[in-house]
Structures are given as C-alpha cells and as structure tokens.
Amino acid sequence: MVERYVKMKKSFLIICLVALLFSTPAFSDESSQLGYLSGGATDVWSVEFYRDANVLYGGLIIPFTNIDPTKSFVESDGRTLDSSKSDTGVIVRTNLNKSWDLKMEVTTSSDFNLANFKYYMGQPWNRKLNKPADGRLAVNPPAWTSVPTISTTVYSAGPNDLNQAELGTLATTSFSIYPAGMKAGVTYIMNITFTIVLTA
C-alpha cells in the first residue's frame, strides 16, 4: 500500500511538471512596449520692450529734460551720438513661420510739430544666431527720419526671423528732437506705439 502511494505520488509530480512545461510562455531576453505621445506647441506671437546694457530706457519713459531750443539736434538724457546706445528696444517673438512687419507710430496731445521728432533704427539683431537679422529696414541705409504719425512699417522680417520663439529678433531705436518752436514751461509728451502685423 505504501509502495503504491509512493508510485502514485511520483506519477502526479511528473504530470504536474509536464503541464507546467506546456503552459509557460517561451522566455525571451528582449521585451518591448510601444507607447504614443501626442502634443503640439502653442502659438508664439508677441512684441515686448527690452532693456540691456546697450538700451538705455527699454519701454519706459524716455526723458528729454534738458532741451536747448537754440540747438538743431537734441538727444535723450544720457545719450550722445558716439555712445553706441539706443533709447529703446523691442523684441519680436514668433513660431508661426509667417512673414511679419514691425510698425511704429507717434501721437501727441501737445502742439509739438511731430515732423521734428526723429528716429534712428539700425539693422535689428537675430538673438538666436547672434548676428544681424536678415530682414529689410524701411529706411536703408539707416538715417534720422521723422517718426510716422500713422502706423507705418519700419522693418520687414527676413527668413531667419520667422521662427524666433525663444530669443526673438531685437530692434533698437533712438530718438531725437529738433526743438524749434518749443515753448518754455510746457511739457511735451509723445506716445510711441510698436505693432507687429502678419503679412503672409
């Protein structure tokens, strides 16, 4: 009886092992799982004032506090023609891959003759490539020009300006006044607006 029990036990173990061999999947030294990631970048389309060591005032107030009416050319406080500094700067950022224009205009509530308010914009700077931007200035070569009194293109983007979401294209501008006709005791205020417009 004991011998028969032992034989039955051995037979049962063999059957179990055989069953396990047939039910276990084949082993592989490599296993993979495919996953999917879905997403998209948001649109970047902005113009903002900028200031660094070469830009004196950014987009804040640009002061002309010591205007000598006997002179024909007056610069903002703290700037001279040979200082290599600009009064203000704007950065255009975009990832739309579309052409754009930077526009500028000036308005005033005073009786100042706006034809005597001038601007000078050098070639904008491609901050990503760290070299001059490849677009076109409206006044080229750069020269002192009356600030437009209606929104007017001052720079048209080049191919390298069309995807500048991170660092952007920097345009710097200086201003000057021909003070003929300015009256003592009067505060003259000029409001300058920079606008970006898609062109394609």
* pLDDT value at residue 28: 67
Residue 89's domain spans which residues?
Answer: 55-198
Domain assignment of residue 43, yes or no: no
Give a yes or no: residue 42 inside a domain.
no
What's the CA gap between 165 and 181, in Å, rounded?
A: 44
Residue of 189 and 10 predicted with greater confidence: 189
Q: Is the peptide bond before 141 cis (omega within 30 degrees of 0)?
A: yes
Give residue-wise pLDDT tens across range 12-51. 444 444 444 445 556 667 888 787 777 667 889 999 999 9
Higher-pLDDT residue of 102 and 85 is 102
In a domain, residue 80? The reply is yes
Would residue 22 count as lying in a domain? no
| pLDDT at residue number 27 | 62
pTM of the model: 0.80
For the chain, report the end-to-end CA distance as a whole number of angstroms: 97
How far apart (Å, rounded) are the C-alpha atoms in residues 20 and 28? Answer: 17
Q: Cβ contacts of residue 193 below 8 Å, gap of 6+?
A: 104, 105, 106, 107, 151
